[in-house]
């Protein structure tokens, strides 16, 4: 059996789908469906069983999980604005530690979600302690477990891989609310208001000019499955495209992809701004000093680990995203 925690969530449900595509359906999904609509992410997936996260944690502590092929640990509080440190460290750090301890005892490979948030404001995004300084307790919760893995790398009984996700976007993120990607929010804005909104300039960046490493969900799934299928490697690896692109690129790609559904021509960024299809709002005061204005994954270690597939840029990823939503009847 393969376990996917957070399996009804954004990355988790796409991982389940990716495993299904490879013929794996003996999958235990662990999640919390208090927000019941997340079940929609699993309706076209094949799984063997579902457990609430609290029941899973109890079984984990009691050692009652049976034979496990691997654990993909994607479950976490991903709200980077959450200030409750007690909750964040229990939910993100302590549970991850318990899963790690179980997997090492049972000699089960573990892949877990770390985050580019560990790097804080950067500017260097290389997997090394000297570059890591999280800006919020979410980033710290991920940072803390990464240090646990580093201390044990020389004595592991089974492989452990931490993937530092950069800005992931794609299908099945609709339940995330304000924490969904800018691409998702831009789509909703354009469909309802016929324009999209971006933050204005701040921190030395022009309107919509802040740069992030936006990585499409299918590429994230491929990286996870690479390490699953090439067992034996352990470590912490960046999971991004290696290409920083401005938020303006995302907005432009969204507008053009949605316009294409009505057979309307492609417009440049300048044309979209002139036609007020892209509009800018003041940068929020509560995010100043707690916001990553530039991220770009260094892929040296990921490539050295044998992952050689290209990553989609924003233009290709957003086009794929829109096409999926059209096929599902969501647009």
In which band, very low, low, confident or very high, does the pLDDT at 289 lie, cut at 50, 70 and 90?
Answer: confident
125 close to 116: Cβ distance less than 8 angstroms: yes
How much is the pLDDT for 65? 87
Determine the Cα–Cα distance for residues 35 and 52; give it in Å rounded to an integer. 12
Determine the Cα–Cα distance for residues 166 and 168; give it in Å rounded to an integer. 6
Q: Annotated catalytic sites, by residue?
A: 138, 176
For residue 150, pLDDT beyond 90: yes
Query: For 290-318, what is the mean pLDDT?
Result: 95
How much is the pLDDT for 188? 93
For residue 309, pLDDT beyond 90: yes
In which band, very low, low, confident or very high, does the pLDDT at 15 lie, cut at 50, 70 and 90?
Answer: very high
Determine the Cα–Cα distance for residues 29 and 50; give it in Å rounded to an integer. 5
pLDDT in tens, 231-258: 889 999 999 999 999 999 999 999 999 9
How much is the pLDDT for 286? 84
Query: For 261-272, what is the mean pLDDT?
Result: 96
How much is the pLDDT for 329? 80
**Residue 239: in which H helix or E strand, if any?**
strand 235-239
pLDDT in tens, 80-136: 777 889 998 999 999 999 999 999 999 999 999 999 999 998 899 999 999 999 989
For residue 53, pLDDT beyond 80: yes
Question: Higher confidence at residue 58 or residue 179?
Answer: 58
**What SS3 state is found at 256?**
helix
Phi, psi torsion values for 62, nearest 5 degrees: -90, -5
pTM score of the predicted model: 0.94
Query: For 278-296, what is the mean pLDDT?
Result: 89
Query: For 36-49, what is the mean pLDDT?
Result: 93
How much is the pLDDT for 164? 98
Could you tell me what percent of the chain has a pLDDT over 70?
100
Give the chain's domains with CATH numbers. 2-170+215-242+295-312 (3.40.50.720)
For residue 300, pLDDT beyond 90: yes
For residue 13, pLDDT beyond 90: yes
What would the two tokens of residue 247 be?
A: 């938020």
Could you tell me what percent of the chain has a pLDDT over 90?
84
Question: Higher confidence at residue 285 or residue 103?
Answer: 103
**Residue 151: in which H helix or E strand, if any?**
helix 137-152
Tell me the Ramachandran region of residue 166: left when phi exceeds 0, alpha when psi lies from -120 to 50, beta otherwise.
beta
């Amino acid at each position: 059996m393969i376990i996917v925690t957070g399996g009804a969530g954004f990355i988790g449900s796409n991982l389940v789908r990716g495993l299904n595509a490879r013929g794996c359906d003996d999958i235990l999904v662990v999640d919390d469906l208090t927000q019941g609509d997340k079940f929609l992410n699993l309706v076209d997936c094949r799984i063997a069983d579902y457990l609430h996260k609290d029941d899973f944690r109890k079984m984990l502590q009691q050692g009652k999980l049976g034979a496990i092929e691997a654990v993909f640990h994607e479950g976490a509080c991903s709200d980077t604005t959450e200030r409750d440190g007690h909750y964040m460290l229990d939910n993100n750090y302590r549970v991850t530690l318990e899963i790690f301890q179980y997997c090492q005892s049972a000699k089960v490979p573990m892949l877990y979600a770390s985050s580019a948030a560990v790097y804080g404001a950067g500017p260097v995004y290389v997997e090394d302690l000297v570059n890591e300084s999280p800006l919020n307790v979410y980033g710290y919760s991920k940072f803390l477990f990464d240090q646990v893995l580093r201390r044990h790398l020389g004595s592991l009984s089974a492989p452990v891989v931490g993937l530092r996700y950069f800005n992931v976007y794609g299908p099945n993120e609709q339940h995330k609310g304000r924490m969904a990607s800018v691409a998702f929010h831009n789509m909703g804005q354009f469909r309802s208001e016929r324009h999209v909104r971006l933050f204005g300039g701040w921190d030395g960046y022009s309107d919509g000019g802040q740069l992030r490493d936006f990585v499409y969900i299918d590429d994230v799934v491929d990286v996870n499955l690479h390490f699953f299928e090439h067992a034996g490697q352990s470590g912490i690896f960046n999971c991004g495209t290696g290409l920083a692109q401005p938020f303006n690129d995302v907005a432009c790609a969204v507008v053009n992809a949605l316009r294409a559904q009505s057979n309307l021509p492609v417009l440049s960024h300048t044309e979209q701004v002139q036609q007020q299809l892209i509009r800018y709002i003041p940068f929020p005061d509560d995010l100043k000093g707690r916001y990553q204005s530039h991220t770009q994954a260094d892929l040296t270690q990921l490539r050295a680990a044998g992952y050689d597939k290209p990553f989609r840029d924003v233009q290709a990823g957003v086009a794929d995203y829109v096409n999926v939503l059209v096929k599902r009847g969501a647009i």
